[in-house]
């Protein structure tokens, strides 16, 4: 039960965490008033609601993800399915020149990821007992569709933990 | 501003943990589940106004701040709390693991902090707050004053010593 929940949460968190990466490949975002500025303006096109499906397939594999502007030029994301809920924020560290994602889920897991190049992310997923390294990549398909793939390191071995596609609603 | 916001995060987020403070494994609402919301803590669901007293720190004297905390049910019979203050937001989930009799809270905020805290007795929660890989031990001690008022004291461990950072009172409505 817990493993399934963690995997599902990882998938959802990664979808949200990497969503903004697609903008780097997309050129100018669709017309909308800027709600985030500077390096965070890359999130602009993501603001709104997305429907995400993919692997691992579970009864809760269809997830709704929402991005919204938040305090201090950050973006809040929230993903929900019938069984899982993940929420967190994206921001930019001007000193480290890194985009970051900090989130938690309803299984008591925290996630922290950062990126230098918009396309490949690394970080950790931490439970009360264990820490797993994470690596993720994201491919933008269109302005209204993107795909994320996440790998998780367990006992020194990297294994794909999710492959999710999101469509903007 | 940053200092106070960070503290608000920890303090107010920790407040939500108070939901589980007096609960035992037996009064979990989740039959057969690993987590659950104690039945006698439904009163926490709703909107709270929080006043924060911050200890003197870094050459700055004691200050106060304010925030609003909204608590709602989330999947697996956990609670989700959302905090909004000036130039600051945070979100937390709280739950109870019946098997290990452990209360937990997980939080993230607009400053990139993430926090995990647990409690075996439901009264004192200890854990860690991370920001960009740097970890700081944290401790929260909470109490229920009434169905419409709750109290929390937040401490950080610095140089091996616990230091009180904040005293928070939240009033419902």
Boundaries of domain holding A14 = 2-168
The dihedral built from the CA positions of residue B109, B42, B68 and A12, taken in this order, carries a sign that is: positive
Cα dihedral sign, B59-B128-B107-B18: negative
Cα B110 to Cα A89: distance, rounded to the nearest angstrom: 6
Mean pLDDT of all residues belonging to chain A: 77
Decide if B109 contacts B92 (C-beta within 8 A).
Answer: no
Of the candidates A131, A79, A106, A81, the residue with the CA atom closest to the CA atom of residue B33? A106
Do residues A123 and A139 lie in contact, with contact meaning Cβ atoms separated by under 8 Å? no
**Least confident stretch, A64-73, B30-39, B86-95, B147-156:** B30-39
Instruction: Read off the pLDDT band of A108 (50, 70, 90).
Output: very high
The pair of structure tokens assigned to B38 is 């104690």
CB < 8 Å to A114, chain B: 132
Q: Chain B: which residues have CB within 8 Å of chain A?
A: 34, 74-76, 78, 80, 84, 87-89, 91-93, 95, 97, 102, 104-116, 118, 130, 132-133
Could you tell me which chain B residue has the CA closest to the CA of A9?
Answer: B75
CB contacts of B114 in chain A (<8 Å) are 102-104, 110-112
- Cβ separation of A106 and B78 shorter than 8 Å? yes
B119 in Cβ contact with B102 (< 8 Å): yes
Q: B113: which DSSP letter?
A: E
Peptide bond into B20 cis (omega under 30): no
Could you tell me which residues come within 8 angstroms of residue A46 by beta carbon, excluding any fewer than 6 positions away? A19, A20, A22, A23, A67, A75
Helix (H, G, I), strand (E, B) or coil at B160: coil
Q: Which residues of B13-48 are buried (b: 16+ CB within 10 A; e: fewer)?
A: bbbbbbbbbbbeeeebbbeebbbbbbeebeebbeeb
pLDDT computed for residue A112 by the predictor: 92
Q: Quick one: pLDDT at residue B107?
A: 93
Long-range CB contacts (< 8 A, 24+ apart) of B94-97?
Answer: B94/B16, B94/B17, B94/B19, B94/B20, B95/A106, B95/A107, B95/A108, B95/B20, B95/B35, B95/B36, B95/B37, B96/B20, B96/B23, B96/B25, B96/B28, B96/B35, B96/B36, B96/B37, B96/B38, B97/A108, B97/B34, B97/B35
Please give the mean pLDDT across all residues of chain B. Answer: 78
Architecture of domain B2-172: Beta Barrel (2.40)
- Among candidates A82, A110, A114 on the partner chain, residue whose Cβ is nearest the Cβ of B108: A110
The CA-based angle A145-B109-B7, given to 5 degrees, is 175
The rounded distance, in Å, linking the Cα atoms of B69 and B9 is 10
- Across the interface, whether the CB atoms of B93 and A85 are under 8 A apart is answered yes
Q: Identify the closest residue of chain B to A105 by CA–CA distance.
A: B93
| The pLDDT of residue A127 | 85
Q: Which of B18, B43, B56, B1 has its CA nearest to residue B140?
A: B18
Is pLDDT of A109 > 90? Answer: yes
Distance from CA of B103 to the nearest CA of A (A): 10
Which residues in B lie closer than 8 A to residue A100 (C-beta atoms)?
A: 112, 132
Residue with tokens 């897991």: A109
Phi and psi for A117 in degrees, rounded to 5? Answer: -125, 10
CA distance B133 to chain A (A): 9
Digit-coded pLDDT (tens) for B59-90: 889 988 899 999 999 988 899 999 998 888 99
pLDDT at A82: 82
Rounded Cα–Cα distance for residues B94 and B127 (Å)? 13
Using the beta-carbon criterion (under 8 Å), do B93 and A103 form an inter-chain contact? no
Q: Across the interface, do A91 and B111 touch by the CB < 8 Å criterion? A: yes
Helix (H, G, I), strand (E, B) or coil at B45: coil
Query: Where residue A41 falls among pLDDT bands split at 50, 70, 90?
Result: confident
B79 close to B68: Cβ distance less than 8 angstroms:
no
Q: Where are chain B's structural domains?
A: 2-172
* CA nearest to B73 within chain A: A106
Find the range with the poorest average confidence among A21-25, A125-129, B87-91. A21-25
Please state the domain count of chain A: 1
Higher-pLDDT residue of A20, A52: A52
pLDDT winner (highest mean) among A13-27, A82-96, A130-144: A82-96
Structure tokens belonging to residue B22: 């007096």
- CATH code of the domain covering residue A148: 2.40.128.20
CB contacts under 8 A, A 64-103 vs B, are 70-72, 74, 76, 78, 80-85, 87-89, 91, 93, 96, 100, 102-103
| CB distance B108 to A103 below 8 Å | yes
């Amino acid at each position: 039960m817990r493993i399934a929940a963690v995997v599902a949460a990882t998938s959802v968190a990664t979808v949200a965490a990497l969503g903004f990466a697609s903008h780097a490949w997309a050129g100018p975002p669709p017309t909308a008033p800027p709600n985030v500025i500077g390096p965070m303006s890359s999130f602009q096109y993501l603001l709104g609601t997305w429907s995400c499906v993919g692997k691992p397939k579970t009864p809760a594999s269809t997830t709704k993800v929402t991005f919204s502007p938040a305090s201090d030029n950050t973006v809040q994301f929230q993903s929900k399915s019938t069984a899982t809920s993940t929420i967190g924020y994206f921001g930019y560290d001007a000193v480290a020149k890194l985009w970051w994602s900090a989130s938690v889920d309803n299984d008591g897991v925290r996630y922290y990821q950062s990126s230098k190049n918009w396309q490949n992310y690394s970080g950790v997923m931490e439970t009360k007992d264990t820490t797993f390294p994470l690596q993720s990549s994201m491919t933008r398909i269109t302005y209204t569709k993107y795909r994320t793939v996440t790998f998780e390191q367990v006992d020194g071995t990297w294994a794909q933990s999710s492959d999710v596609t999101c469509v903007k609603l | 501003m940053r200092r106070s916001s960070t503290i608000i995060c920890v303090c107010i987020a920790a407040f939500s943990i108070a939901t589980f403070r007096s609960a035992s494994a037996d009064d979990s609402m989740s039959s057969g589940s690993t987590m659950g919301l104690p039945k006698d803590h439904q009163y926490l669901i709703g909107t709270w106004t929080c006043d924060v007293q911050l200890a003197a720190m870094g050459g700055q004297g004691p200050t106060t701040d304010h925030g609003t905390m909204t608590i709602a049910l989330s999947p697996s019979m956990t609670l989700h709390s959302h905090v909004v203050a000036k130039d600051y937001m945070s979100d937390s989930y709280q739950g109870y693991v019946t098997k290990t009799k452990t209360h937990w809270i997980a939080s993230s905020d607009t400053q990139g902090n993430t926090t995990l805290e647990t409690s075996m007795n439901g009264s004192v929660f200890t854990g860690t707050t991370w920001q960009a890989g740097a970890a700081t031990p944290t401790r929260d001690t909470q109490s229920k004053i009434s169905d419409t008022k709750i109290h929390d004291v937040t401490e950080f461990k610095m140089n091996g010593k616990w230091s009180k950072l904040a005293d928070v009172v939240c009033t419902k409505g």
